[in-house]
Amino acid sequence: MVSMGNGRSAVFRRRNVIALAAAVVIALVATFYVVSNRPEPTAESVVDDFIAALGEGDVAAAAELTTYPNAAETTIGQMFEGLDPERASFDLTQFVKLNENTGFFTMAANWNFGKGKDWGYQVQGGVRDLSMGWRIQWDPSVMAPDLGIGSKVRYDRTDAAPPLIFENTGSVLMNEQIINVIVLDPATMPDPVATTTRRLADVIKPVAPLVTSESMLAEMDKKPGEQVVAVKLRDQDFNYLDRNNEFAIPGIIVDKQPTLITADRRITSPLEDSLKNVWQANRDETAGWAVHIVKPDGTPVRQAGFQGPPGPNINATMDSTIQLAAEDAVVSAGTPSAIVAIQPSTGAVLAAAQNNQAIEQGPVAFEHLYPAGNTLDLVRKAAGLEKGVDPNSLSAEEIEKTGHQLGLGRNYDILGMDQETAVFTASGSGMDQAMNTEGAYPAVTPFGMAMLAASISRGSAPVPMIVHGQPATTEIEAPPLPPEINEQLRNMMRDNVARGGGSYLRGHPGLMGMTAKAGDDRWFFGSRGDFAFAVLVADADGSDRAVKMADRLLIEMAERANQK
C-alpha cells in the first residue's frame, strides 16, 4: 500500500511542555485502546502518532513509539533543546507498507527561528512489527539528515566582525578585546591557601595589588564549593604576567572572554553601559544564524543559516579629553560626587564621571534624583517673568511647565540609556521612586542640571544624545523662553560668578554659572562657550566643595588641551 500527499501534519510552537514519563505514556495508551475499543495500531497509524507527538513537542511519547526509546528520547530531546525553535512542523509526505512486517515513510520537517530563519528538509524512516506492536525503526537520521549516533544539533547566532565605538575626536573609545577571567575552582585545589591563592596573589600583584590571598579566601567563604572570579585581566596584562606560564596553578581556570571595553583603561564612565547597550543593539540587528550538526569529536557541520553583515561603527559623543578631566576632578571629594558635561549647540553628552563613593550607589549621574533645594530658582524666576507674577506665588505645575522649556522633566528617550532630568511633583513622571531616596519634590539629577545649563546657554533646550545622529525623542514639546527672559537668566549666572557664590571661579573667562544647595548637597552648574556642565557633591563636608570641583574640572580641561 502506498499513501502520498495526505496532508497529515503536526506543528510545535514554543511553550512549556509537560512530558509524561514513558511508563505513564504506555499505561494511558493501553487504557485508551481498551476503553475506546480503538483498533490495534497499524504501521501507518504509528507513524502518524510519531509525527503528531513531534508536533506536540512530546519527546517521551515520540520516543516510546520507536524500537530504542532511551536513545530516541535522548536524541529528540537534545534536538528540541538545542534548536529551541519558535515553531516546528512535521508532515507525513509518503507512506509505503512493504510487507506484513515492515513499512517505509518520508517525513518533511521545518524548524522556524524567527522571520526569514527556516531550516527545512525531508528524512526517510522505517517501521517494523515487533512483539509489542508496530514501532519506528530508530536511527538518529529519522530526525535530521546526516544526524549520527553521538551527534548533536544546535542553533547558533553568527556575528560578523564587531563594530568599533569612536569618541568625539575620532579616536577609538571602545572595542571588543579579550578579557582573561581568572577563576578559583575549589574542587581542584589541593591547598587553597599555600598552593593556590598565595601563588595567584603573587602572580597578579604587579597589576592587581588589592587582590590578595585573604580577599580571595573571603570571597570563597561566601560561596562554599562554588567557582569564584578572582580577577579579570586585559589581554596585554595577562600576557605580561604569564610570560613563563605563571597561571598554571592548581585550582585556577583561565576563561578568555571577548568583551567590549574602553581602549583607554583610564576611562571609567556611567556612559559605558549605555554605549554597550547601543553596541549590542547594533550587533543584534545585523546578526546572522546557523544550524549545526556537531559531530562527536566537536566538529560543527553547517546545515542552514545566513552570515549577517558587519554592523556600522558607532560614533559616540564622549570627548576623552573632557572625560579624563572630569574623572580627575570628581575624585577631589570624599563623598558621592558626579559631573556631567553637554555641548549646548548639539545636545551631545561630552562626559560623565562619578567618584568611587557614587559608583557604589549606581549610575547617579543620570538616574539618581536628589532633592532640588534651590537648584531650580532660575526656573522659578523664569516662570515668574514669563507670567508677570511673583515667582513665589507659582504652583509646582506652573514651574514644571517652564522647566520643560529649559530641558527638564521632558521624559527623554535616549537610545541605550536610562535617565531622568527632574520631577516636579509625585505624579509628574513615571520615574522609579526608588531613585528618589528622600521622597522630596521637586528632585533633580546631575544630568538634568547640565541640561538646564545647556538650555540657558543655547537659548532653547537641546536634544540630548550619546551617539551622533541618534538624538533623543520626547512626547513633551515646549517652546523656548522669550530671548529677553533667557538673557536675564544668563545675567544672573554671570553675576553669581563675578560677585556671588561662584566668585571663586571668576578667574575663568566667559564662565557663567550658579551655586545651589539642598541640605548638605552642594551644586554648581554653568557654561562657557559651547560647553555646559553640572557638578554635584552629595553630603559635602564644606559649602564650597562643588565650586572647587568645578574649578579643578576647568583647570584640568585647559591643561589637557594644552598637551595636545
DSSP 8-class letter at 196: I
Query: What is the rounded CA–CA span in Å between residue 261 and residue 496?
Result: 41
User: Is it the case that residue 439 has pLDDT exceeding 80?
Assistant: no
pLDDT in tens, 294-326: 999 999 999 999 988 899 999 999 999 999 999
Residue 461 contacts by C-beta under 8 Å, 6 or more apart in sequence? Answer: 404, 405, 406, 407, 410, 451, 454, 455, 478, 480
Convert the pLDDT of each residue in 470-527 to its tens digit.
999 999 999 999 999 999 999 999 999 999 999 999 999 999 999 999 999 999 999 9
Which pLDDT does position 301 carry in this prediction?
96
Element (H, E) at 499: helix 483-499
pLDDT of residue 19 exceeding 60? no
Q: Which residues contact 458 (CB under 8 A, 6 or more apart)?
A: 344, 345
Stretch(es) of the chain classified as CATH 3.10.450.100: 2-150
Mean pLDDT of 421-437: 62
Angle at 228 (CA atoms; ends 224, 230), nearest 5 degrees = 135
Query: For residue range 443-467, what is the model confidence (pLDDT) as tens digits?
Result: 999 999 999 999 999 999 999 999 9
Rounded to an integer, what distance in angstroms lies between the CA atom of residue 403 and that of residue 449?
A: 11
Element (DSSP H or E) covering residue 118:
strand 118-130
Please, which pLDDT band fits residue 432 given cuts at 50, 70 and 90? very low
What is residue 34's predicted lDDT score, i.e. its pLDDT? Answer: 44
Q: Which amino acid is at 431?
A: M
CA atoms in the 13 A half-sphere facing the CB of 498? 7
Q: Is the pLDDT of residue 291 over 90?
A: yes
pTM: 0.81
3-state secondary structure of 228: strand
* Residue ranges of the chain assigned to CATH 3.40.710.10: 320-563
Residue 111's SS3 state is strand
pLDDT band at residue 26 under the 50/70/90 scheme: very low
The pLDDT tens digits for 237-270 are 999 999 999 999 999 999 999 999 999 999 999 9
CA dist., res. 541 & res. 336, Å (int): 11
Contact criterion met (CB below 8 Å) for 168 and 317: yes
Q: Among 325, 180, 173, which residue's Cα sits nearest to residue 241?
A: 180
Cell representation of residue 75? 536524541
339-359 mean pLDDT: 98
Question: Which pLDDT score is estimated for 194?
Answer: 83
**Residue 367, exposed/middle/buried by CB under 10 A (0-12, 13-18, 19+)?**
buried
Query: Average of pLDDT values for 37-45?
Result: 81
pLDDT in tens, 278-287: 999 999 999 9
Phi-psi region of 366 (alpha: psi -120 to 50; beta: other; left: phi over 0): alpha
Per-residue confidence band for 97, with pLDDT thresholds at 50, 70 and 90: very high
How sure is the predictor about 33, in pLDDT bands with cuts at 50, 70 and 90?
very low
Contact by Cβ (8 Å): 558, 329: no
Mean per-residue pLDDT of the chain:
91
pLDDT, average across residues 400-417: 96
Angle ∠(368,374,380) on CA atoms, nearest 5:
105
Average pLDDT over residues 365-393: 96
Judge whether residue 184 has pLDDT over 60.
Answer: yes
Q: Is the pLDDT of residue 434 over 90?
A: no
Residue 30 has pLDDT above 80, yes or no: no
- Based on the number of CB atoms within 10 Å of its own CB, is 10 exposed (0-12), middle (13-18) or buried (19 or more)? buried
Determine the pLDDT at residue 144.
97
pLDDT computed for residue 428 by the predictor:
52
Which pLDDT belongs to residue 7? Answer: 52
442: preceding bond cis by omega (within 30 degrees) = yes
Q: What is the pLDDT of residue 196?
A: 93
What mean pLDDT is predicted for residues 88-116? 96
CATH of domain 2-150: 3.10.450.100
Query: pLDDT value at position 437?
Result: 47
Confidence (pLDDT) at 20: 35
Per-residue pLDDT band for 10 (boundaries 50, 70, 90) equals low
pLDDT of residue 562: 85
Q: What is the pLDDT of residues 49-85, one digit of tens each?
A: 999 999 999 999 999 999 999 999 999 999 999 999 9
Q: Which CATH architecture has domain 320-563?
A: 3-Layer(aba) Sandwich (3.40)
Sorting pLDDT into bands at 50, 70 and 90, what band is 35? Answer: very low
Residue 46 reports pLDDT greater than 70 = yes
d(CA 539, CA 34): 79
